[in-house]
Structure 1
Amino acid sequence: MWTEVPASLRAPERVKTRMGVLELVHGVPTEPTAKRLYDHLDFIRGVDAFLHTISGASMVAMRRGFRSAGVDDNATVAIFDPMDAHSLFLTGDTESIYAGTWLDLRKGAMIVQSPPSTVGIVVDFFGRRVADLGEAGPDEGAGGLFLFAPPEYQGQLSEQYFIFKSPTYGNLLMWGSFAAESNRGAAVGALKERIRIYPFDVPLLEDLGLDAEQSATETTEEEPVEDQEEDEDPMRFLSLSGKSLQTIFPSDFRYYEDVDTMIQEEPRAAFGPEILGLLASIGIEKGKPFAPDPRMKAILVEAAAVANGTARAIAFRHRNDAAYLYEGSAWYALQAAGGEHLRNGVRLLDVRAMFFYLSAMRSPGMADDQVGAGFAHALAVTDANGKYLDGGKTYRLTLPPRIPAKGFWSIVVYDPQTRSMLQAPRSPSPSLSSESRDVVPSADGSRTLYFGPAPPRGQERNWIQTVPGKGWFVMLRLHRPLGAWFDETWRPGEIEPVDSVIE
């Protein structure tokens, strides 16, 4: 007796789909249908390739921006004090002092002397965390000597360093620190005094007078590391505050060219067979030129446009209710899951795409619930009525008394187009914070802030300028958040439209 073939195994001869009618004769696609299906397959793989590699494309753009500004790999450290709207930098912070460079391990392992009282991170060329330095690192904020080895490194490594091996040769190294306005100059000076980067073989710890009993955070007063290195290969520090700098990945066909750059430079093992297979399906393959024919290029041009729009939908109109901090609120989390974007062993793809579309780096301080440490972030793109924020209108936001930040709090306004600080005519720093001495609290200790093209009368000190014809979104940062943030006994107000502005 023949086995009866279930209807679920049969392919209908004509199927209506979003691509049109598919024709399958006796289960076999006609030539026009096969062509349509392959075009669609290449298109969805182009979209997937974009959404799965945002972190890597961001690193390519970051390196390009640094190099164009004169920040030489390993030898030059960029200083942002402060970071402002002159630079295009994903959701930068106006209150922190940033220092960073591109760490190139192609010639071998490198030693990084990390300064104390900072939050630092090294991420590989695919945006994955390699190491935390400072408060979240093994030095616990004391500073110390870190050794970074390249992939497949076979040399001897000294256990007197904090040792990390990167999957890639190219890595981004960044520090952030905070100081009161009156101490910022001294804080920048301290960074310049302590940061050093040099090859592993020069010098060895033994040559610096350290014995095996001493910690990786210790140096002798008689022979400090920086003095040893300063004579031979002094670090160069370059202030980029107020300078033009573009560090954000493109959103058109050039995106795929940037991803190809990363793949060509790094070992295959850094990415794994799934990512490499996805990229190879659209013509990005190590050791081969990325040169799509006219048909494939047209498909990828459209795929980039759709993927970019999809990333914007995920970033600015999230459909996951769990991403929102409070029921019925516009405020949502930059990280709706931990730093690895996992929940119960499941990778949250939309959460990952949202994070890297809005931010270049991740660390425990940005993701974990750490009372009194790291940062807490909240974003809002819409007002209390669920409408996108309009640069031509006036709004107000009330932060209740006793803002739960052991360090500082800040509100920064960003441009949704660039996800960088909004470029407004009156100030390069579209922000207000606990460090803005001008912010006037209300009698009960709350702070009501205003946003709009012009300040309401008497509110000039509590106002951030927006630009007619441009949208905007806002990020609340709490440095070293306290328990009231986590147990939600304190929460920010909603952003409310103001019907009229008092001239």
Structure 2
Amino acid sequence: MSRSSAPQSRARARDLAALAAQAYVYGFPLVYGLETVAAFVQHGFGNLPGTPFNRFAHAQRLADPRTPAVSAGTDTLYSIAQLDLSEGPLVLQVPDTGGRYYVLQFVDAWTDNVAYLGQRATGTEAGSWLLVPPGWSGQAPGSVRGVIEAPTTVMSLVGRIACAGEDEVPAVRALQRGFTLHSLTAPGLGRGGLPTPDPQAPPELRFFERLRVWAADFPPSSADQRYQERFQPLGLLEEGPTPYAGASRGLVAALEEGMAAGRAEIDAAAWRPPTRGGGGWQMEPHLFDYNLDHFGIGTIDSPRWRLPDRTASYLTRAVAARVGLWGRHGYETVYAQTFQDAEGRPLDGAYAYTLRFPQPPPARAFWSLTMYGLPERRLVDNPAGRYAIGPGTPGLVYDPDGGLTLYVQHRRPRDPARAANWLPAPAGGFRPMLRLYLPAPEVLDGSYVLPGLLRSAGPA
């Protein structure tokens, strides 16, 4: 190699690595999301067993410290189905929940939230819905309430039904049995799996091989397809056998470097503090606004709920998949978490805290405050067996002026009134999370300020 060509080669290598980093950020939600789909079908998730495509898996109990999931919610029971529409439409039957809050969320292969059913979107009455694959042009039965068009032949249907405590579990389980799926035209279950990447691809390039195969089988919107054309030099648009089995050392090095850089970019953005409310609370109602192309039943097609920069949306989408896969738009649910008290000190179970809401948290459906230990961010066992507190907590005591004071500490308060409003904390560091289902407008426009946790003067 001549002296003049060496700098050019290094520049090409840098450009190729930078392009690979862009491809990693762009493709991470697809690959991670479909890996999760495959794992769900085979092994299940949290309290849910492994379940074939086009069948519901229903949680039989509320989450507790035995649940192997980070930030597991204890205020709803999950009902989840992985959908395969490759052999045609499915009919979804929904029961009458009698006003009980529920949401069914439809997530395409790229992790876009493309439709919602439930209390906010369609009410809580019984009905049937037709789920159709991309490009379907058949006739919908007159008995269905509406048609949900899937942008990709594989989708995740993520359902949550409100459940205020163990006493409500039997009633919710009875409702779960009313959520069913069946084929409109044939008894088959579709192909029953995801396309298999070429096993000849080297293990270190497995991510890019999966991105190549899955992006071809589940093509994105036309605008995103134009963007991904730039990845031609990486082999991501090639059909047939993998181009990575005999890839040059230069391409392999660029792909590995780009993958590391892309992963670092996602992680840096994921752990950057989001929008803050009062008292150190972190809240981001617009984390899931990256869907720019598919607005089905129950979605809000408005500039307020669409990110203005398509290229920037790819990083937001990757961050959302990294920290909250299958999370919902802010108009359905908002999450707030904090790691510190009102004065900025780390939360620690060695101290007692009070959290006073002048009025109960503004949610049109319901709210809950759940406790998680650090660093695992899992539910923590306690003698009371209480992992969250909310309006359905038995015996909850409101202040004379209508406000609500919660007591967050490791030991049970001696005062019975305080014990009724006690959220047990672990002995060490902890992180509470506030969930607002159907948040009020003041939450979404940023005018609502969450109060901070006030620490006692001395150790608890």
TM-score by length of 2: 0.73
Flag the 1:495–1:55 CA change in 2: closer, same or farther, 3 A: farther
**Does 1:491 pair with 2:456?**
no
Flag the 1:83–1:47 CA change in 2: closer, same or farther, 3 A: farther
- State the distance in 2 between where 1:96 and 1:336 align: 21
2:56–2:180 contact (8 Å) kept in structure 1:
no
Q: What corresponds to 1:41 in structure 2?
A: 15
Q: What corresponds to 2:265 in structure 1?
A: 310
Flag the 1:309–1:90 CA change in 2: closer, same or farther, 3 A: farther
How many angstroms does 1:124 deviate by? 1.2
- State the distance in 2 between where 1:422 and 1:233 align: 39
Match of 1:477 among 431, 435, 438: 435
Q: 1:37-436, aligned counterparts within 5 Å?
A: 37-69=11-43, 70-79=50-59, 81-84=61-64, 86-87=66-67, 91-117=71-97, 118-137=102-121, 139-161=122-144, 162-181=146-165, 182-192=167-177, 194-201=178-185, 255-256=207-208, 258-260=210-212, 262-267=214-219, 272-285=224-237, 286-289=239-242, 291=244, 294-318=249-273, 323-325=275-277, 329-335=280-286, 338=289, 340=291, 345-347=308-310, 348-349=312-313, 350-363=315-328, 366-368=329-331, 374-381=332-339, 383-384=341-342, 389=346, 394=351, 396=353, 398-403=355-360, 404-413=362-371, 421-422=377-378, 424=380, 426=382, 430-436=387-393
What is the SS of the residue equivalent to 1:55? helix
Unaligned 5+ residue runs, structure 1? Answer: 1-24, 203-231, 235-251, 369-373
- State the distance in 1 between where 2:255 and 2:352 align: 40
- State the distance in 2 between where 1:430 and 1:48 align: 40
Amino acid in the other structure paired with 1:176:
R
What is the SS of the residue equivalent to 1:53? helix
Flag the 1:447–1:34 CA change in 2: closer, same or farther, 3 A: farther
How many angstroms does 1:101 deviate by? 1.0
- State the distance in 1 between where 2:354 and 2:212 align: 44
- State the distance in 2 between where 1:416 and 1:56 align: 29
Amino acid in the other structure paired with 1:315:
A
| Matched positions, count | 409
How many angstroms does 1:155 deviate by? 3.6
CA RMSD of aligned residues (A): 4.0
Tell me the alpha carbon deviations over residues 429-460 of structure 1, each in whole angstroms, 9 at most, x when there is no partner: 85333334376767764333436xx4476587
Could you say which structure has the larger radius of gyration? Answer: 1
Amino acid in the other structure paired with 2:176:
L
